[in-house]
Each structure stands twice: as structure tokens, then as C-alpha cells.
Amino acid sequence: MPSSSPSSGASSAPPIVSALPFESAAVRRSILAAYWLVIIFALPLWWSSTSIERLSLPNSRVWSETTRTLQFPLHVVVNEGGGASGRHDLDRQLTERRRHDPEAWQGLQLHVNTGETHIPPGGPVAYEVDIGPRHGSSILDSRRLSCEESEVADILNSLLAPYGKGADRGDYRVAKYSPRYRLTFTLLNEDSAAGAAATGWGIEDALDRHITPVLSRLSDLHNFTVESQVQFHAPLAFKPVPVVIDGKEEYGLTQEDLTVFVNSAEWTLSSSVSNDPVLHFVLFVPSAARRPLHILNSEGWGQHGLRNLSDNLFLEGLPSTSDAFILPQWGGIVIYNPPSHIQDHAHLSPSHLERSFNVFLRQLLALLGVPPLPPGVSSSEISLTTWQLDALLRRRSVENVAGCQETLQSIVKLVDQIPNMPVGQDVRGDILQALSELEQTYDAAKTSPQLALVHSSRASTLASRAFFNPGMLALLYFPPEHRYAVYTPLFASATVPLIAAVIREVLAWRRQRKGKEGLENDPGLPGKKKTE
Amino acid sequence: MYLHWLAISYSLCLPYLILGSFAAHTEQFDEDLVLRSLRDGKVLSRFSFTTRLNGTTPRNPQSLGSEDSSQHYTLFPLALGQVLREYAVSELHLSLNAGKWNYERWGYPEESGVGTGAELWAWMGAGDPTTVDERWQGLRNALAGLFCASLGSLDEQRTTSPSLAFAPEGSLPNWTLPHLLRHASLPSEHVCTENLTPFLKLLPCKALSGIASLLNPHRLFDADWHGMSVHVLWHEDMGVEVRLAFQAVFDPIRMSLEQKRDWSLQSIFDRSIRRSCPVAASSQIRVELPRDQAYSLGPDPTEIDGEYAIFNTKNVTEELNVSLRWPFEAIFEYPLEPPTVPLTHFSVRRILTGSSQSRGQLSITIQNNLPAQIQTIYLETMPWLLEFYLHTLRVHCDGRSRDDLMSLITYTLPVPHSRPTLFEAALTLPPKATIQITMDVTKSFLRYTEHPPDAQRGWDLPPAVFVPINIPTSLNQTTSLSQDKRSGRPLELRRIYTPTLLVDLATPDFSMPYNVIIMSCTLIALTFGSIFNLLTRRFVLVRVTDSEEKQDKVD
């Protein structure tokens, strides 16, 4: 080895390690350091490329906004000759009712003033009450009530807070708020081939007369798409029971039958075109073979029992006074028994439909949550009164705000619970927007219920859009085990020599330092031994 | 007194009731069933249910931004009306078929859209608020929901606009902006009961009365060929028309014990007509009378019109079970030889040759059966899986190269993963000649995730379509092809569909990605290890002693 001969010293000296130009501890260590530097600098890149986008949500703001309650200030201005005593009296009576039924009065701040108090225009909603002796019923005008002193507290209570426990039995009947509803009116013939069927109806006329005025009155709350169809075969999934009513053979529907009345397998009622909720109104014409058909009272069974009539067992039933029923949040059904002299292929005229459409109207109002007027009160306004609309606006705003608050809280909880759930910019943006709409709702409630409804509806839509954002599901099904399975074969085999080299170098360095110290302390000792 | 008044008021509104049934009827429903015995003993049945909405026009797409007028229908299906209004569709054709239509044995079908699988095409006006493509997407999704079919997958990768072959069958409204065509087909769609149930729900009388009561799913889906279709047209003088049709080819010989081709409604549908649909303006069963042999038809038809016996089913008072018998035929003998008299003007065969997974050749053979020249439109729509080499296109007529027979070629190149191929050309068929068209194709290499779950099965390719555009009318009488007067529709609209093809693409071993991961990891680890080792290895000079040196030298 000719290259080694000039460097070789005395025979007893240790081999000279730095003889090769590249073979020095510094070079080797810098190579090792370069590897580690690359790894260390690549780590953030790797981290950002494999981690999911998870923006922070404004948790504290969500909690503070969603624990607020919506407050509607109501000003009642009492016009009365008596002065302050009447006002105090009314105030006291209403406070008592409020304590009695706190649920109904939730979110309502009542202020009772006398006529002298000036309420600025554009300010909060103010109602005027004229108390005085009256003949006949109490009169409602646009935000003005005239009634007798003895009734005023009761009437005001049921006008301003109609959604108590007692007044409206069915919160569950009311369809969920939507800015647009689809109203489908269907004339259903159970079996038109059996004869005496209704093959047409004056639907447009009937709608114009009964439904459209109310729909335009409700335009602050909802838009409506109205459509209608006629079906000629709509079999029931069960057979109505034959009953004897007042000695005549008729057919009856029990209360249990009503729950399975809608035969969705055979009736074509659903709409596939839009996501707007549909309210169905069905005019059901029973088959000619099963007429007349009535709804039986729930008590009808026990009281009358079985009776033998011409060798057949018949049930003697007690017909209910109504031929209509509501399916909560779905729609309403009216059973129409055509007059017995009706011809084949009859076209139902508006006069035939008068009664049924009045029922449809009441069902529609019930499904939309319009409060009924208290008994003994009449109005000069057509269809709905401003008092009813105001109450409905307040109720729908409260409903929307509650729904939005619940959704926002659920999102925050869900994101906290699942660490793998991505939260993108769109989700965060929707939540922030929903929060600002919520804030605007709280502000708008002080002046205008209409504005409050608009903002609350937007807030609710945004919150549910954030909740159902498909991006939040993206990486939910990519478990960490999967990641390790891909990374281990690559990284384990590469990092083991790297770490081993570091350990070796550290050991070598320590030994070298020890050797140096040893040399300094005791120069007689030989130097470092060969390490390889 | 009160009762008296009530009686008077009732008697007053009685005439109103009767009059009311005749007034304000702008909707009309007609139903029709055609039954025809075919040459090979099978029975073709075609149900047609037409609902007309008189005096209406399709929705103008420019009005989509504003509120639509309310839809009040009596006979027209509301579920379909909603879809048509929502997406402003002027003309729509949807067909869902199962089986291969055998033109040689069965002749022209009553409904010309017989391509296997699903086919949807629609003419829509261009408009401002939404583009035609957005509405096309909405339309196919809505129809997919309505008919429970996977029409949603008729996406951009399958949508083409072949304007020559699919001309509008009705009239198109004259709006300021033009109408555009969208066409897509899905040959792998399977048709079954879940599609028939929503189809029946669109009929005014469902399957409970009238002719529709014969639609028994157990028998229909047992048929040799079956298909349903929905056609929405607009006639300028009448209005919007919806026609729902069901076509099936039954095999009475298979069902009979004596191997006879006699049939009756009861034997093929397992049902008979018991009551009529009360709202049908007309309702009839037309049975085509056999020409070759003695037959007996029962019961007596209402009237006989040429070669058809017509049964009026508008007012059925007793059970109607139409039957056709050949009393002097002991056993039906299946015609084994190819038919001597052709049933179609020309016949087409299409095959895909080539055994490799990357190349192939498309070969079409067309036989003109007429002693006259025929002009046709030839249309190929292919998913991007198959790419044509247009420079290899060759046309041979009776063995001689005749490139002049093909003209007006439109070719849209496929864009991998996004756009399908469209090849449309006008083809001249010389009298009694056989034309052969060949074209080289390449098969695409798919991405790992683009393979369907049953990747080894191959991909179904849509049928080619031939549309005769001028057939000399004088020849129709001389040949037995008098079909045009049967259905009353012009021959030009008769499209001929070839059977679908199956293409075998390169299919990977699906454990491949894991093999690749392991393999590349091993390689990287090996390379890294050796380079790293080389770089950080400690090279040490070992001083060789003199004695060793000497020994080395000695060695």
C-alpha cells in the first residue's frame, strides 16, 4: 500500500485515522447531521401534508350566544277613563297569569302603560287596549283591542301568549319551520271503477275562495307552492268495519285505523323534485261499495257493543261529529261522502267543496301553528288578525333560535369529541355567520318580529348547513392504524441505521474525549484504541 | 220546512253536477294494447297510455328564475309534471329495456327505442338562470328518483348531443334561444319490478282497472324481451303529451304444455280485464290477425279494421279474455332456417374483434334487403374507454373498397375520464348490397379506482343506432314491410339499435397497491441503507508490518 507508507510513523504508534482526506470525524458527523437536518426540516412538511384541516371554532362565543334567550318586548297601552288604577290592575292580573304559566310567557317582556305614554314610531311593538263597557263581543282591530274590563286580562293573555300548556294541545302537530312549503291537494277516489266516483273538482276556484287569502296573509312567514292532483284508485291498506248508525248500515273508521290510513305504498303523494317540506291535503272519496264512511268516536265501541243484524255481526258505532283528521306534520285528510244522487264521473263543484275546504283551511292553520282566536272575540280583519300573526312570528323566531342554538352546540360538542374530524373554512364561516345572524335576531326582536324571523331563519339554515357539511366526514373513516401500516415499512427501515449511527458517534465522541483527558492526565498511557 | 229546502237545493245542484263533468276537461287519457303473433311463435304486446294536457306549453327556461304557475292536474301525473316544470324540459324520452331485440325474427318493434339498458334523451331550451347541463343533471337525478333507476350515473362521461339521429318527435316551442339535445345511455342498467311500480303509479288507473290491469310483474319480467318507456312531447296544435309504453315479447310455446302457439290474455298475463278504467277517453285492444293460417279468435271483436281485430274496452261489463288459436296446428314448428322474407329494410351486425387488452377493431356489417338505395344515419356513442382511430376507417361494399358511401362525418374525440366519443355519419346503402365498416380502436387503461366491483366482467358498450332517412315509399307495398301504417308514425323515426357489446379492459390484480407500497419501501430502504452506510463508514488505515509485507510478497 504505497499511500500508507509516508504517513506511517513509528511501529508502536496507533493507526492514524485522519490519513484519508475525507476520513475525519468532522466530515462524518456533518454527513450525519445533514441527514438529521433534512429529516427535521421535512417533519413539519410531512405533518402539514398528512394532518387534516381543523380550524378552531369560536367555542366561547358559541356558548355565550346560545345560552341567551330571545326577548320580545311587548307594550300594552291602556286607554281608559279611569287612569292609572286600571293599568295597575291589569298589570297585576297579567303578572299573576304569567306566574301561573311561565312557559307561555317565556321570552316576552310585558310593559303595561297608560295612554299618555308616548311610544315612538319604529320602536317596539305596541298594542292598544280600549277598556270600556261594550255590547256584544270584543273587537280586534290591527293591534287594537276593545273589550270589557272583566275580560281584558283573559283575552290579552290568550292573544299575546297563546302557546301555553292548556291552550294549544299539540306542539307536535306543527310542521317544522321552512321558508317555503309545498301544499299538495289531492282528490283521492278509493276505487273509481266501482262507480259514482268524483273524477274532477273545481280546485282552482275553491283555492281562490278559501286558501289563497290566508296564504297571502302569511307571506311574511312562508312562501307556498300550491299544486293539486286527482287519483282514481287509492286502495286502503285495511277494510273499514261495517257499523250500524241510527239503524242504517254504514262504514266506520276506528281511531286505530286512522293511524294507518295513509297507504303510502299505493298512493302517489310524495314529491321528488325539491327539498321543501310538503303538506298534504287529501279529500278522500270512499268506494261506492263502502259508503258512507265515518270516523267513529273512541267511546263508540264500549258503549254499544255487538248487535246481530240479518245474520251478520255488525258493530254499532257512534259516528264522530267530524269527518276529518290531522296527521301531525304531514297534512290533513277529509273524508267526503258524495251525496247519494251523484252521477258517475261527477265533477265536484265549489259548492260541494265548500265545507271540505273550510276544514282544509283550519287544518292548514293548525299545521302552521297559527293560534286560534280566544272565544268571544271577533275581528274586523279578513282571515288572520295582526295579533295572531305577531304571536306566530314570535313563536317561529323562538323555535328557529332554539333549533339554531341546539345545532351550534352540537357541532361544537361533536368537533370536541372526535379529534379526527376536519373543520374546514366553509364550516367555520357558516358558524360565524350563523352567530352573527343570531345576534341580529336578538337585536331585531326589540323592534320588529318580522326581521327577527328573517334573521332567525337564516341563522337556523346556516347552522344546519354547517352541521351537515359533507367535508366534516372526509377523514372520519381513515383510521391511524392504516397510516402506520403504510409508514412503518418505509420509515422503520430507514431510521434504524440513522439512529444507530448517532449512538455510535456519540459513543465514539465520548470515548475520544475520555481518551484525551486520559492523555492529558497521564501522558504515559497509549492513546485511543482502534475502534473498528 | 228545513228538509224541504235542503231537497230543493240538492235538486238545484244536480244538473250542475252532470254538466260539470263535461265542462273544463282539457286533459285526455287514452289507452291502447297491441298484440301481434310473431313469426317464431312469440307474441309481441305493446301497452300505450297517452295523457294529453290540451292547450299547454312547456316551461320556458328563461322563466325559471321567477315563480311558476300552480300545477293542477286531473289525469296528468303530477310527479312527472313537477320534474318537467322544474327543469323546463320540452321533450323527453326515457326507455328502460332488458334483452336483445331480434330484428330478424320479430321485425320492427312498436316502440322504436329498444336499446338494451337505460336510454334518456331530452330537448331543452337554452336559458339564462341555469344552463342546459345543470338542468340535464337535475333531470336525470329526478328521474332516477322517480323510477328507482341508476340514471344518476348518466353523467358527463356518457352524455352526448347527436343531433341528426335524435331529432325531436314533437314540435319545439319557438323561443328566442335555441333548443339543445342531451342524450345518454347506460347499457348495463337492469330493469326490474322496482322500476315498474313507480311507472304504474303514474297511470291514472294504476294497475287496478282497464288495460293496465294486465300488467302483471310476475309475467312481464319473465318475458323474453321487455321494456318500458316514457315519452313527453309537445304538439303545437294540441299541447303537452305524456305517453307511457310497455313492450314485451312473450313465448306462449314455453308456457304451454302441448307446444302450441295459442295464447290468451289469461295465458300470457295470468290476468284478464274485469273492469274498465273510468277516465279513459278511449280504450282498446288491437290484435293483429295472422295471414298465413286458419285461426280462431275469441270472443267476437267489436270491429275488424283491415288486419286488426279491435276490442273496445271502454265499457267492460263481463270478464274479457281475448284469445287467439290455431285449431289445425297440432304442434308449432320453430322455423330453423333464416327467414326468407326479411322483416326490416336492412339488417345490422356489430362486433368488436381483437384479443388484446389494448387494441381492437370495431366491425359493422350492414345488409340492405331492399332493391333500392337507402340513406341512413349511423351513430356510435362510446364511453371514453374506447377510442376510435378515424384514419383506419374503411368502408367495403360487397368486398370492394367504397369510401364514398360514408359522408357528413362528425367525430368528437373522447377526453379520458370526462367526455365520451361521438361518431355520427351519413351512410348510403346501395341496393341489395352488403356494407362492411371497420375501424381500429384502442382500449383505455383505467385508474385503479375507476374499475367497477365486478371488474373482470368487462364493460358494456352502448348500442349503435341506425336511422333510415329516406326509404322509397313505393317499395313498401311490394315488400312485406307495411309497418309504417301500423303505428301511424313516419318511417323516418324508426331507429334500429344494434345489440350492446362487452369490452374487456386491462384489469389489475386488486392487491396491487399494497404490493407496490411494500416493494417501493423495500427498495428505498435498501438504497438508503447502502448509501448511508457508505457515507458514514469509518475507513481505517491498517499499517502492515514489514514481516507481513514480506509474506505478501512471497505470496
Parallel/antiparallel/unpaired status of strands B43-54 and B239-250: antiparallel
- Whether residue B353 is found in the same domain as residue B482: yes
pLDDT (0 to 100) of residue A380: 74
Last residue of a domain, one of A313, A335, A368: A368
In a domain, A125, yes or no: yes
Report which of A391, A377, A376 is spatially closest to residue A145, judged by C-alpha positions. Answer: A377
Give the list of residues 6+ apart from residue B462 with CB closer than 8 angstroms, or none.
B115, B117, B158, B185, B186, B187, B381, B382, B383, B500
| Same structural domain, A336 and A218 | yes
Beta-carbon contacts of B208 under 8 Å, excluding residues fewer than 6 positions away, are: A191, A193, A233, A235
Q: Mark whether A335 and A218 lie in a shared domain.
A: yes
| pLDDT band, residue A316 (cuts 50/70/90) | low
Q: What is the dihedral of CA B519, B525, B526, B532, to 10 degrees?
A: 160
Q: Is the pLDDT of residue B281 over 60?
A: yes
What integer is the mean pLDDT of A495-503?
87
Residue B493 confidence (pLDDT) = 62
Residue A194 has pLDDT above 90, yes or no: no
User: Looking at residues A417-421, what average pLDDT do you find?
Assistant: 82
Cell of A333: 285528510
- Residue A116's pLDDT is 62
**Banded model confidence at residue B379, pLDDT cuts 50, 70, 90:** very high
- CA dist., res. B121 & res. B113, Å (int): 11
Higher pLDDT, A415 or A313: A415
**For B145-166, how does the pLDDT look when each residue is reduced to its tens digit (9 = 90+)?**
999 999 988 888 999 998 788 9
Whether residue A289 sits in one domain with residue A229: yes
What pLDDT, on a 0 to 100 scale, did the predictor assign at position B13? 39
Residues B174 and B91 in one domain: yes
Task: Tell me: do A44 and A84 sit in the same domain.
Answer: no
Quote the number of domains for chain B.
3
Taking 70 as the threshold, does the pLDDT of residue A310 lie above it? no
pLDDT at A276 over 70: yes
Q: Average per-residue pLDDT in chain A? A: 80
Q: Which CATH number belongs to the domain containing residue B392 in this structure?
A: 2.60.40.740
Better-scored residue on pLDDT, B475 or B357: B357
Residues in a beta bridge with B443: B386
Determine the average pLDDT of the residues in B408-435. 92
Do B148 and B286 fall into the same domain? no
Q: Would you list the DSSP string of A457-488? A: HHHHHHHHHHHT-GGGGTTTT--HHHHHHHHH
pLDDT at res. A319: 66
Band of pLDDT at residue A51, cut at 50, 70 and 90: confident
Grid cell 284508485 is found at A233
Q: Can you tell me the ipTM of this complex?
A: 0.82
Confidence band of B553 (pLDDT split at 50, 70, 90): low
Query: Which of B221, B251, B281 is where one domain is finished?
Result: B251
Count CB-CB contacts under 10 A for residue A382: 9
Res. A321: pLDDT tops 60: yes
Please provide residue B51's backbone torsions phi and psi, each rounded to the nearest 5 degrees: -120, 125
Range of the structural domain that residue A116 is part of: 72-170
Nearest to B460 by CA among B150, B93, B102, B141: B150
* Greater model confidence, A433 or A317: A433
Range in A363-367, B300-304, B513-517 the model is least confident about: B513-517
Please tell me the predicted confidence (pLDDT) of residue A520: 63
At B413, list the grid cell: 374525440
Pair A300, A321 in one domain = yes
Sign of the alpha-carbon dihedral angle for B399, B403, B409, B413: positive
In DSSP terms, B407 is beta-bridged to B426
Based on the domain organization, do B378 and B498 belong to the same domain? yes
Domain assignment of residue B304, yes or no: yes
Overall average pLDDT of the B459-477 stretch: 77
Q: For position A521, what pLDDT does the model report?
A: 62
Chain B residues whose CB is inside 8 A of the A199 CB are 21, 74, 278-279
Average pLDDT over residues B284-306: 89
* Integer Cα distance of B478 and B456 in angstroms: 49
Domain annotation covers residue A185: yes
CA distances for B516 relative to A486, B512, B519, angstroms:
11, 6, 5
Find all residues with CB under 8 Å of A269, minimum gap 6, and list them: A184, A186, A262, A280, A282
Q: Measured between alpha carbons, how far is residue A487 from residues A83, A482, A493, B218 in Å?
A: 85, 9, 10, 55
Half-sphere exposure of A233 (CA within 13 A, CB side): 22
Both A231 and A363 in a single domain?
A: yes
Best CA proximity match to A257, nearest among A197, A333, A331? A333
Least confident segment among A146-160, A343-357, B116-130, B462-476: B462-476
The reply to whether A215 and A362 lie within a common domain is yes
pLDDT digits (tens, 9 = 90+) for A216-233: 999 989 999 999 999 999
- Could A191 and B72 be called an inter-chain contact, meaning their C-beta atoms sit closer than 8 Å? no
Give the whole-angstrom CA distance, residue A180 versus residue A277.
8
| One-letter amino acid of B114 | V
Check residue A532 and give its pLDDT: 38
Residue A465 has pLDDT above 80, yes or no: yes
Q: Find the CATH number of the domain harbouring A112.
A: 3.40.50
Burial A286-305 (b: 16+ CB within 10 A, else e): bbbebbbbbbbbeebbeebe
B465 and B402 housed in the same domain: yes
Amino acid sitting at position B266: Q
Instruction: List helix spans (H) across B61-181.
Output: 78-86, 103-106, 132-147
DSSP string over A89-158: HHHHHHHHHHHH-TTTTTTEEEEEEETTS---TTSS-EEEEEES--SSSEEEETTEEEE-TTTHHHHHHH
Pairing of strands A72-79, A126-131: parallel
Q: Which range is least confidently modeled, A249-258, A485-494, B248-257, B287-296?
A: A485-494
Among A117-131, A429-443, B155-169, name the one with the lowest average pLDDT.
Answer: A117-131
Closest residue in B to A193 (Cα) is B278
Same domain flag for A153 and A282: no
How many CB atoms are closer than 10 A to CB B353? 11
Q: Are strands B89-98 and B71-72 parallel, antiparallel or unpaired?
A: unpaired
The answer to whether residue A281 is domain-embedded is yes
- What confidence category does residue B537 fall into, taking pLDDT thresholds of 50, 70 and 90? confident
pLDDT at B23: 34
Q: Min CA distance, A244 vs chain B (Å)?
A: 23
d(Cα B98, Cα B87) in Å, to the nearest integer?
Answer: 28
Residue A82: the pLDDT is: 54
Name which of A226, A230, A283, A344 to mutate to probe chain B: the one with the most chain B Cβ atoms within 10 A of its Cβ: A230
> Which residues constitute the domain of residue B416?
346-503
- The answer as to whether A224 is a domain residue is yes
Residues B373 and B315 occupy one common structural domain: no
What is the rounded CA–CA span in Å between residue B545 and residue B528? 37
Domain annotation covers residue A526: no
Instruction: Assess whether A127 and A257 both reside in one domain.
Output: no
Query: Which residue of chain B has the CA closest to A496?
Result: B529
* DSSP annotation of B457: G
Same domain, A136 and A184: no
Tell me whether residues A345 and B70 touch, CB distance under 8 A: no
Name chain B contacts of A232, Cβ cutoff 8 Å.
204-206, 277-279
Instruction: State how many domains chain A has.
Output: 3
Domain limit, last residue, from B503, B521, B547: B503
What is the identity of the amino acid at A328?
P
Q: Which residue has the higher pLDDT, B293 or A186?
A: A186
Percent of chain A with pLDDT over 90: 27
CA distance B350 to B437: 9
Q: How confident is the model at residue B133 (pLDDT cuts 50, 70, 90)?
A: very high
Look at residue B531 and tell me if it is in a domain.
no
Res B18: pLDDT: 35
Asked if the structure places residue B21 within a domain, the reply is no
Position A532 in a domain: no
- pLDDT of B438 > 50? The answer is yes
Residue B157, phi then psi, degrees to nearest 5: -75, -5
Is B114 domain-assigned?
A: yes
A216 inside 8 A of chain B by CB: no
Do A155 and A185 fall within a single domain? no
Instruction: Find, in chain B, the residue whose alpha carbon is nearest to that of A343.
Output: B18
Chain pair A-B, CB pairs under 8 angstroms: 173
Is-cis flag, bond preceding B178, omega within 30?
Answer: no
- The pLDDT of residue B480 is 40
Candidate from A192, A486, A494 with C-beta closest to B278: A192
- Confidence class for position A11, pLDDT limits 50, 70, 90: very low
More confident of the two residues A79 and B57: B57
Mean pLDDT of B446-455: 85
Query: Do B313 and B375 fall within a single domain?
Result: no
Which pLDDT band, with edges at 50, 70 and 90, does B535 fall under?
Answer: confident
pLDDT at B24 over 50: no
Residue B508 lies in a domain: no
pLDDT for A10 beyond 50? no
Domain boundary among A368, A400, A432: A368
Residue B380 phi/psi, 5-degree rounding, is -120, 125
Q: Is B482's pLDDT higher than 50?
A: no
Task: Indicate whether B189 pLDDT > 50.
Answer: yes
Q: Are residues A229 and B78 in contact, defined by beta-carbon separation less than 8 angstroms?
A: yes
Q: Is residue B525 part of a domain?
A: no
Let me know if residue B286 belongs to a domain.
Answer: yes
Report the pLDDT averaged over residues A47-69.
85
B443 neighbors B358 (Cβ within 8 angstroms):
yes
Determine the residue among B536, B549, B553 to mutate to test chain A binding: the one whose Cβ has the most chain A Cβ atoms within 10 Å.
B536
Q: Does pLDDT of B539 surpass 80?
A: no
A385-401 pLDDT, tens digit per residue, is 888 888 899 989 988 99
Contact A378, A137 (CB under 8 A): yes
From A270, A345, A351, residue closest to B13, measured CB to CB: A351
User: How close B542 comes to chain A (CA, Å)?
Assistant: 6
Q: For position B256, what pLDDT does the model report?
A: 85
Collect all residues with Cβ–Cβ distance below 8 Å to B86 and sequence separation of at least 6. A273, A274, B138, B142
Least Cα separation, residue A497 to chain B (angstroms): 7
* Res B413 pLDDT > 80: yes
Residue owning grid cell 319557438: B174
Give me the mean pLDDT over the A52-62 stretch. Answer: 86
pLDDT at A334: 94
Task: List residues bridging with B501 in a β-sheet.
Answer: B461
* A225, A346: one domain: yes
Q: Is residue B8 part of a domain?
A: no
Q: Which chain B positions have a beta carbon within 8 Å of A347's beta carbon?
A: 17, 20-21, 23-24
pLDDT at A501: 87
Grid cell 252532470 — which residue? B18
Interval A373-392 mean pLDDT: 83
Contact A270 B70 (CB under 8 A): no
Q: Write out pLDDT tens, residues B28-39.
A: 999 999 999 998
Residue A3: predicted pLDDT:
40
β A241-245/A278-285 pair status:
unpaired
pLDDT for residue A471 = 83
Give the C-alpha separation, A190 to A238, whole Å.
12
The pLDDT of residue B247 is above 70: yes
Helix ranges (DSSP H) in A12-113: 25-50, 59-66, 84-100
Q: Which residue, B136, B131, B174, is CA-closest to B158?
A: B136
Give the least confident one: A173-187, A208-222, A466-480: A466-480
Q: Are residues B305 and B241 in the same domain?
A: no
- Among B229, B251, B273, identify where a domain stops: B251
Lowest average pLDDT, out of A26-30, A521-525, B237-241, goes to A521-525
Among residues A368, A384, A415, the one where a domain terminates is A368
If asked whether residues B411 and B442 sit together in one domain, one would say yes
Check pLDDT > 60 for residue A167: no
Give B72's contacts in chain A (Cβ within 8 Å).
203-204, 227-229
CA gap A288, A296 in Å, rounded: 19
- Supply the mean pLDDT for chain B: 85
Residue ranges of A 269-308 with Cβ closer than 8 A to chain B:
270-274
pLDDT computed for residue B227 by the predictor: 95
Residues B134 and B201 in one domain: yes
pLDDT at A5: 41
- Cell readout for A250 is 254504514
Taking residue A509's Cβ as centre, other Cβ atoms within 10 Å add up to: 12
Report the chain A residue with the minimal C-alpha distance to residue B275.
A193
> Which of left, alpha, beta for B337 (phi over 0: left; psi -120 to 50: alpha)?
beta
What strand order describes the sheet that includes B303-305?
B179-186, B117-125, B89-98, B225-235, B239-250, B43-54, B27-37, B282-288, B308-312, B303-305
Task: Give the number of other Cβ atoms within 10 Å of residue B114's Cβ.
Answer: 25
In a domain, A473, yes or no: no
Residue of A35, A193, A349 lying closest to B20 (CB–CB): A349
In a domain, A119, yes or no: yes
